[in-house]
Structure 1
Amino acid sequence: MANSPALLNTFFSAFGHFRGRGTFRPEERQVLLLSNAVANGSEWAVAFHTLEALADGVEPAVVEALRRGDLPTDSRMAALSALTRAFIDKRGWLVEADVAAFTAAGFTEEQLFEVITGVAISAMTNYTANVARPPLEAAVQPHAWTAGYSSGV
């Protein structure tokens, strides 16, 4: 990201608002970001958000399910992960059932739109990591993850 001041500044501004003004609890924010990283096949981001999720109190079983590409058994976290993945998979073209499942889990309309912010932030970091292929820092190496496909890059 440092190679593009526009990207770097946009990311920090957006993430600052997402974290500072958003309504998701830290563990929910990490479920969203880890779900995005897996969906985007970002090996660096999956390792990083695994560390962050565990530090923010996400249950290890939830983290492992997300890393496998599965929905966690916790219904609220499952609804958040499912909606996040639906945004990515459907390019934002959600159906009523996607939104209904999310709100039935206790999330608000405001949070529905905050998911879009999380998806956008993740696109910036995940795609940058997929292109730049940074080495894993020592702290995240124990959480290394390999995507189930190759981008061919």
Structure 2
Amino acid sequence: MTTYRIHTVETAPEDSRQALRSLQGALGLVPNLAATMAGSPSLISTFVAAFGQFGGTGFTDAERQMLLLSNAVANRCAWAVAFHSTVALAQGAPAAAVDAVRRGELPDDPRLAALSATTRALIDKRGHLDEADVKSFTAGGFDERQLLDVLTGLAISTMANYTGNLADPPLEPPFQAQAWHGGY
């Protein structure tokens, strides 16, 4: 297995440093997963740019985190599950909804259930949603534009989750209370 370096702003390739500075400014730290991604300037720069655009989707902060958590569980990325569980709870997502997604189930809340089910269906069906999938999403209170916005979340998650699965960076102390061991 390859061991990937966990970079700092100072040790990262020059073309990765601005992206890491942006994350540090936004989060107050450079998460180990992003610090690993910094080994590829194109990966970390694309990730940070996409993540920056993800705020303009019409989803609440908690909904964005639930979408990203659903993706992390579907992709079985333990680091990302812990991170997004922690952030989702901090941003007001109901603990029962977070726990349900972590178990591979749908939350009781109809809106969060529609969001989680749709993001998982997009992964499972490789984007080939049927009419019932789309109607379920819009019945949850979302619009067709937001269905396209889910794709931004999927792109972000694919970069992060696959890096996490490949590199297996250590989980930082702020996220350890939400450590996930891949079961559902």
Question: TM-score, normalization: structure 2?
Answer: 0.79
Q: What is the one-letter code of the residue matched to 1:7?
A: L
Matches within 5 A, 1:13-52: 13-19=49-55, 21-52=56-87
1:148 and 2:183 matched: yes
Matches within 5 A, 1:3-152: 3-19=39-55, 21-148=56-183
| Cα separation, 2, equivalents of 1:84 and 1:13 | 21
Q: For residues 90-142 of structure 1, what are the alpha-carbon distances to aligned partners after superposition, in whole Å with 9 as ceiling and x for unaligned?
A: 00010000000000111011100000110110000000011110001001111
Q: What is the one-letter code of the residue matched to 2:74?
A: A
| Cα separation, 2, equivalents of 1:148 and 1:88 | 18
Percent identical among aligned pairs is 61
Cα deviation for residue 148 of structure 1 reads 3.2
Q: 2:72, 2:78 within 8 Å by CA — same for their partners in 1?
A: yes
| Cα separation, 2, equivalents of 1:85 and 1:145 | 18
Q: Which has the larger radius of gyration?
A: 2
DSSP 3-state at the match of 1:146: coil
Cα deviation for residue 147 of structure 1 reads 1.3
| Cα separation, 1, equivalents of 2:66 and 2:107 | 10
Where in structure 1 are there 5+ consecutive unaligned residues? none
The number of aligned residues is 148
Where in structure 2 are there 5+ consecutive unaligned residues? 1-36
| Cα separation, 2, equivalents of 1:106 and 1:73 | 15
Aligned to 2:12: none
* Superposed CA RMSD: 0.9
Question: TM-score, normalization: structure 1?
Answer: 0.95
| Cα separation, 2, equivalents of 1:72 and 1:138 | 27
